[in-house]
Structures are given as C-alpha cells and as structure tokens.
Structure 1
C-alpha cells in the first residue's frame, strides 16, 4: 500500500509518542500541515517567528527530556530558527528540525527563496556548524530511515539538535507505507555506557582519601536525569557540591552541602572552596569560561595543584579545559548509581561533614544579610534583589523559572534559590536574548500542572514580543516578568565602567529613559498586562497573575545595578588591562 510521505511522517511521529510540534507555515511545508490537521494525537503550536518555535521546543525538551520537533520553512524560515536551534545545540538539548526545501527538480535554477549563492540547494549546510548532523533527503524512499536516525542521534550520547531538510516535492510523493511501518520494530531508546566496578572503586577511594574534595555539577547531571542519584551519593559521601550556571538545581540550594554557582558571578566563598580543593569530581560539565573565571588559576579552579576526576557522556569534553587524572565516558545516571553502590559497600556508614555544613550555613546567613536591605528596599524603580526575593517568596517550590540574559540570568544563578532539579531553564552556552519567554511556552505545554514564570529583561522581551500571540491563541498560561531597566543593562554597565560611556546601550528618547508600555502591548495581543508603579504592588500582582491561570505580562521598572562579581572574566583584561575593573551601575 502507498501513501503520501507527509501523511506517513505524521503517523510515524504519532507512533513515536510525539504530542506537540512547534513551527510556522511556508509553501514548502503545507503538505505536512495538511496531514497534521487530521491528527488527533499531535498538537501544532503555531508561532509568529521561527526563533520562538525553536526556543519553545527547547524549553519543552528540557522538561520532557525527549527530543522536541520543529517544523520550518526554507530560507528565511530556517535562518530565523537558526539562533534558537544553535542555543539548543550549545546547551545539549535534543531536537529534530524538519525543514521544507525547494523542489528537487529545481536545484540550482534559483527557485523562490533558494539558498544557493555558493552551492546549489545548500540551505541544509547553514546548520552544519552547530547541529549533530544535517541530512538532505534525496529520495522519498530514504526519508523513513533518515527520520529514525535523526531521533536516535538527537537523543543518543550527548544530546543535541539535528536537521532533516526535505525538498517540498518529496512531502507530496507516494511511498510504500511498509518502509515506515518496519521502523516500529526498531528500539527507540539506545542505552548509554556506565562505569565499571573497578574504576568506581578507584574513584570512591580517591575521594574518600582526599582532604578537601568538591563535586562540580554541570548541566549534564540534569540532562541525564541524575539529580536523585547525585543527592544519594552526596549524602553518603559528605562531599560539598558547587555547580556551573547550567548545573544549578542539580542539588537543591537549601541542601546543607550545596555551595552554589562558581565563576565570574560566583561568590568568593564558593570560588575559594573550589580553588582550594585537592580533588574535584567534575560531573557533566564543560568547565566553560564564565563558570571558571576564564580559567585563571587564582580565582576559581587551579589544576594543578588540584586534581580532576571528570565523568561526561562526551569524550571531547574530558581534558578540554583542564588536565584530568581520571577521565571516564559514561551516562551520569548510571555512573552515579554505581558510585553510590560502591561507596556504600566500602563505607557502610554515611560520612559526615558537620564542620563544612556549619561553614556553608554561616556563609549563607552572611550572604543573605548582605543582601537584606536590597531585598526589602521600597525604592522605585525596584532593586533587582527585591524583585527576585518577591518572586521566590510567591512561587511554589516546584515552579519552573525560565530566564533570559542579564540580571535575570546571572543574578538568578547567584541569588535565587532553586529547590527542584530541572526547574530553572536558562540559555547557557549561547546566552541568547529572547529565549526566556518562548522557552516558558514550551515548558508550560510540557508541564501544564506547574507554575511557569519567565524572568526577562526589556531588551530580551523586545526581541520577540510576538510570543504573546502564541500564548493568547494557544491559551498557554505563563507569567512573564519584564525586569525593565530601559537598557541592555549588563552591556551598559560594562561600557560605562571601562569606557565611561553608555553609547548604544541605553534606550532613550530626547535624552530621557524610554520604554514601550509593555502592559499595553500585552493587552493589544489579548493578554493581561500589568504595569507596576511602586515596589509594594509587585508581589500582590504576581500572586494574582499566577492565580489567574492565563497568560500575564508584568512590566516592572528596575534599577540598572550590576550583579556582584567576585570571580573574573578575561574580557575585563581586554577592556582595561591590569585595572581589575568589572561593571558599574548606570543609575
């Protein structure tokens, strides 16, 4: 029996358990949309810009821990989505992008929107630098097998996006349905490697003999769904845990052995504990620049004299930025299970570290006290610390927070407690403005019973306000808090500190601070909009927004004061060599 490729694509996705597809129409993919219109198992999430689709699919995949699906048009559709797909790639988020392309019989003739200035029909190559693999489907009969490989690769090993580029005529060709149905016999989950017992014994004994061991948790712990296993290992071995930005939440921030985030936005206490460690167990981390104070040994990590044990699913990350004494390629969920089993066998009684727990508790108390005045300030524009404190006070423990870039990312990493693993979604490696609100859409669709709040700057929200159209039309009840400092605030603070100007970074009209009325814009989209006029109004407004169970935008004017920085970043040396200058306030 034969059927259209587009119809069989939808049926294949249904059988894989795909429930949502994020995308935007174009003349190259409407055959797929027509097939989707007949599906009662897959919901198409319609957006107004492909970057929104990619970020929403990113947020969705972070919550479901399965590959999300993006449907894109060719040319500008594919390039619009590229930023969101690259963001997912650098944060190792599984995603399958299915893109229409020009008809195969018109390659090289410059049909409408073909990308071919260097090679005919080469649009798929645009994604090659950041996807795990890009396929161009040359024949309809190859499409089923390519699809199967695409999902397997997206989720296998170190997860990430893949691209399946499909000439539009292939969507409308007939194909033998047996080519799709035979794939049902193929395993849909590929098992990942674990640690062998001998190596686990060596690692556990090494850590047990260490004087000041530290576990360094990266985003790979969360990608592997290994937070429970990490906590069990930590509780038994009594080893403190520091984390990267992407590793935040791997261990709850109120766990007695959680140190906190390291690097440029880490505090001196946390950075010193890492720098003074004799052994560091790195788990699912790339030891990225901002997390490691540009790898300067005097700030965060110092290898040597510290020694590194590094476990990661990606062998290319082991030894990339620091020398390793023990390196292992393994799935962290399995690896931590083995390490805990070995630890309990070697040391039946849980190892206690009360002195360190007390030191961490004292540090937290001192840090909280140092921020108390700012967290309780009635100043308006509001202090960012007051905004974060009020948000944390209102939200349930398991609420999902999405951030963007600036105070809402760096300040949240440093100061905002996260209590459940996977409840903070942030753009790490690519640090993309515009991620937060769109990712919140995907997160809420994936977890409809949880509160989802996006913390986003006015610069970031201004990237793609059309996210509100999707929230309204699809009835996705997210709350977007715009921390509005009327600037690209972080960059403004950098430029002011190093060059004594804020040129090109502040939003002004006739020399005065300027901001659109985002509450009014929200209302124009059919979304509830609230403009905060005093600090005391913010917390009650947020409570009402959550209780309303509908999309809401809260626009709150904020002081542009920098996030405190105790670590280092090499860009400071480029701007102002030898001067130890960081950010300054532009208020």
Structure 2
C-alpha cells in the first residue's frame, strides 16, 4: 500500500507511544502538521518561539524519561530551537528533533532560507557540535529506518538529542507503507550494560572497609531511574551521599545520610566531608567544574590521596577530570542492583553509624538556623531566602520545581529541600537562561496531577514571555514565580565585586530601576497575574494559585543579595588574582 510519508510518520510516532509533540509551523513542515491534525493519539503543543518548544520538550523528557519530539521549521526555526537542544545535550536529555528543510530538487540554488555557505543544503550541520547524530533524509525510502535509529540513539547509552532533517518535498512523497510496518518487529527498548558480581564484591568490600567512604551522586542516577536502588544501597551500607547540582533530590534532603550539594555553591561542611573521604564512589557524574570548585583540591575533592571508583554509562567521562582507581562503564540502575544483592550477601545486617547520622543532623539544624532571620524577614523587596522558604512551606512534598539561573538555581541547590527524586528540573551543563518557564510547561503536561512551579528570575522570564500564550491556549496550569531583582542579578553581583560597577547587568530607565509589570503582561495573555506588594502577600498568593489549578504568574520583587559561596570558581582568579573575592549585594 502506498501512502504519504507524512501520514506514515504520524502512524509511526503513534505506535512508539508518542503523546505530545512540541513545535512551531513553517512552510517546510505543514504537510506533516496536516497529517498530525488527523491523529487522535498525539497532541501538538503549539508555541510562539522554537526555543520554548525545545525547552518544553526537555522538561517533558525529564519527567517521562523517554525521548520527546520537537518539530521545527528550517533556518531560523532550527537555530531558534538550538539553544534548548544544546541545553538538553549537555544534561543528557533525549530529544528527537524533526526539522523541515529546503526542497531536495533545489539544493544549492538558494531557495528560500537555505543554509549553504560551505555546502549545499547543509543546515543539519549547525547541530553537529551538540547532537548525538544528525541525519538528512535524502530519499523517502530511507526515512523509516532513520526514524527508528533516531529514537534508539537518543535513548541509548548516555541519552541526548538527535536531529532528523527532512527536505520538505520528502514529507509529501508516497512510500510503501510496508517500509514503516516492518519496524514493528524491532525491539524499542535496548538492554543496558551492568557489572559482574566479582567487581561488585570488590567495590562493596572496599567501601565497607574504608575509614571515610562517600558516595558522590550525579544526574546520571536520575536518568537511569535508579534513585530507589541508590537509597537501598545507602540504607544498607550506611554511607553518606554528597551530590552534584543535577543530582539534587536523588536522595531526599531530609534523609539522614544526605549531605547536600558540593562545589562553589556548596557549604563548607559538605565540601570538607568530600575532602576528608578516603574512598569516593562516583555514580553518574561528570565531576563538573562548578560542582568541584574548578577541581582545586583544597576546596572539594582531593584525588590522590583519596581514591575514586567511577561508574558511568559514558566511558568518555571516566577519568576525565580526576584519576580513577576503579572505572566501570555501566547503567547505574543495573550496577546498583548488583551492588545491593552483593552487599546484602556479604553483610546481612545493615551497617549503622549513629555518630555520623547525628553529626549530619546537627549540621542541617545549624545551617537552617543560620538562615532563620532571612527566611522570616518581612523586608520588601523580599529576601530570596524568604521566598524559597515560603514556596517550600506551601508546596506538596512531590511538587515539581523548574529552575532557571541565578538564585533560583544556585540558591535552590544549596538551600531548598527536595524530597522526591526527579522533582527538580535544572539547566545544569549549559546553565541556560530562559529554561525554567518552558520546562514547566513540559513538566506539567507530562505530570498533570503534580503541582508544577517555575522559579525564575526576571531576566530568565524575559527571555521567553510567550510561554504564557501556550499556557493559556493549551490550558497548562503551571505557576511562574518571578523572583524579580530588576537585574541579571548574579552577574551584577559578580561585576560589582570585581570591578565596582553593574554596567550592562541591571535594568534601568532614566537612571531608575525598571521592570515590566509581568502580572499585567500575564493578564494580557489571558493568564492570571499577581503583583506582590509585601512579603506577607506572597504565601497566600501562591496557595491561591495552586488551588485555582490555572496558569498563573506571581511577580515578586526580591533583594539582589548573592547566594553564599564556600567553594571556589577559577573565574575569580581571572578577575581578581589572589583576592578571593566572590559576589556582593547590589542593594
């Protein structure tokens, strides 16, 4: 049976279980959209900017743990989406980007919006630095096989985005439906590598006999859906857990063995526990710069004399930043499953370290007390600590938080308790401003029964305010809390500390602080908008927004005080050598 490629593509996606596609129309992809309009199984989430589509798909994929689909137009559509796709790449989030391209019979003739400065019809090469692979579909009969490979590659090994670039005429050509139907016999989920009992026994014995063992948990544990297996291992072996920014929430922050986030925005206690470890089991982590204080041994990890066991699905990450005593390429869930079996066989009774538990509990109590005055302050503009404390008090334990950059990322990583694995979505490796609000759309679509709140700065929200159009039209009841300090606040504090100016980093009009009325903007989009006038108004407003179950913007003025830093970042040595200056308040 012959059928249009566009029709068969929709059927293929339905069979794969795709329920949502995020994207924006263009003349190169409307044949596919026309076919999609007939689907009763796939909902198209229409956006006003392709970066919104890629960030929303990213948030959706983090919650579903499956590849999300982005639909893009050629040229500017594809480059608009690129930031979100690159963000997904650096955080190992699986996306399948389907992009229209110029007609194949006009390659090299400069048809409308063709990219061919160095090769004809070469727009797909724009994505080569950050996608796992980019395909251009040169023949319709190859399209089915390419789509199958795209999903498998996106979700296998270290997950990540892929690009399928489709000349627009390919969508409208006929193809033998059997070419797609034969893919039904293909396995859709690949078996993942593990470790053997011999290696697991060796590692478990080392950790059991170590004087100060430590588990360092990264976002790879979340990607592997292995939080339950990690907790089982920690509870049985009694080993404390420090984590990366992306690893936050893997163990609940109120678990007795959770230390917290390390590095530049980590605390002195947590960083010192890492320095004092004799054996470290690194799981699903890149040992990235901010998490490791630019790898300075006096601030974070000290390898050697400490020894590292590093397990990751990506062999390229093992030994990249620190020397490794034992390295293993494995899926973290599979590896932890073996660890648990071996540990319970070697040590039937769970190991207890009440002294360590009490030490960690005392640290947490003292850290909480050190922020008490700021968390309870009635100052307006509000202290960031008060905003975070009020949000945590109001939200259910399993609410999903999306962050952006600045206080809402670094301060949340340091001070905001997360209790359920996967309930915080953060732009880690790329640290993309503008991620938080569209990611909340994707998260809410993926988990409609969960409360979803985007904590985002005014700089970040200003990147993509058109998320509100999608929230309104698609009835997506996400809540956007704008922590509004009238600035690119983190950069302003950094510039002020080192150069005694905030030039280019604060928002002013005629010498006075300036901000749009984001609550009024929300109402103009048909979304509830609340402008907070005092600290006492904030918590009731957030409660009301949650109960209303509608999209809502809460615009709250915030002091631009820096996130406390106990670690180090090499950029400080570039700005002010030998002075150990970090950020300062600009208020």
Partner of 1:79: 79
Partner of 1:424: 424
Partner of 1:478: 478
Alignment partners' CA distance in 1, 2:106 and 2:14: 32
Partner of 1:102: 102
Partner of 1:23: 23
Q: Deviation of residue 353 (structure 1)? A: 1.1
Map 1:447-466 → 2, pairs under 5 A? 447-466=447-466
Q: Deviations over 1:300-352 (max 9, x none)?
A: 10000110000000000000000000000001111001001100000000000
Map 1:548-563 → 2, pairs under 5 A? 548-563=548-563
Q: Deviation of residue 558 (structure 1)? A: 0.1
Say which SS state the counterpart of residue 215 (structure 1) adopts.
strand
TM normalised by structure 2 equals 1.00
Alignment partners' CA distance in 2, 1:407 and 1:371: 15
Alignment partners' CA distance in 2, 1:452 and 1:428: 19
Partner of 1:306: 306
Q: Deviation of residue 171 (structure 1)? A: 0.3
Say which SS state the counterpart of residue 529 (structure 1) adopts.
strand
Say which SS state the counterpart of residue 371 (structure 2) adopts.
helix
Partner of 1:380: 380
Alignment partners' CA distance in 2, 1:119 and 1:177: 32
Structure 1 gap segments, 5+ residues each: none
Partner of 2:57: 57
Map 1:227-238 → 2, pairs under 5 A? 227-238=227-238
Q: Deviation of residue 117 (structure 1)? A: 1.3
Map 1:376-455 → 2, pairs under 5 A? 376-455=376-455
Partner of 1:540: 540
Partner of 1:349: 349
Alignment partners' CA distance in 2, 1:578 and 1:174: 67
Partner of 1:467: 467
Say which SS state the counterpart of residue 96 (structure 2) adopts.
strand
Alignment partners' CA distance in 2, 1:9 and 1:547: 40
Partner of 2:5: 5
Partner of 2:329: 329
Q: Count residues in correspondence.
A: 587
2:93 corresponds to 1:93: yes
Structure 2 gap segments, 5+ residues each: none
Say which SS state the counterpart of residue 146 (structure 2) adopts.
helix
Q: Deviation of residue 119 (structure 1)? A: 1.3
Partner of 1:254: 254
Partner of 1:358: 358
Partner of 2:295: 295
Alignment partners' CA distance in 1, 2:512 and 2:306: 51
CA RMSD of aligned residues (A): 0.3
Partner of 2:495: 495
Partner of 2:145: 145
Q: Deviation of residue 118 (structure 1)? A: 1.6
Alignment partners' CA distance in 1, 2:109 and 2:358: 71
Q: Deviation of residue 216 (structure 1)? A: 0.2
2:517 corresponds to 1:517: yes
Say which SS state the counterpart of residue 194 (structure 1) adopts.
coil
Q: Deviation of residue 408 (structure 1)? A: 0.2
Partner of 1:116: 116
Q: Deviations over 1:51-98 (max 9, x none)?
A: 000000000000000000000000000000000000000000000000
Partner of 2:319: 319
Alignment partners' CA distance in 1, 2:102 and 2:385: 51
TM normalised by structure 1 equals 1.00
Say which SS state the counterpart of residue 150 (structure 2) adopts.
helix
Alignment partners' CA distance in 2, 1:117 and 1:5: 29
4+ residue stretches of structure 1 with deviation over 6 A?
none
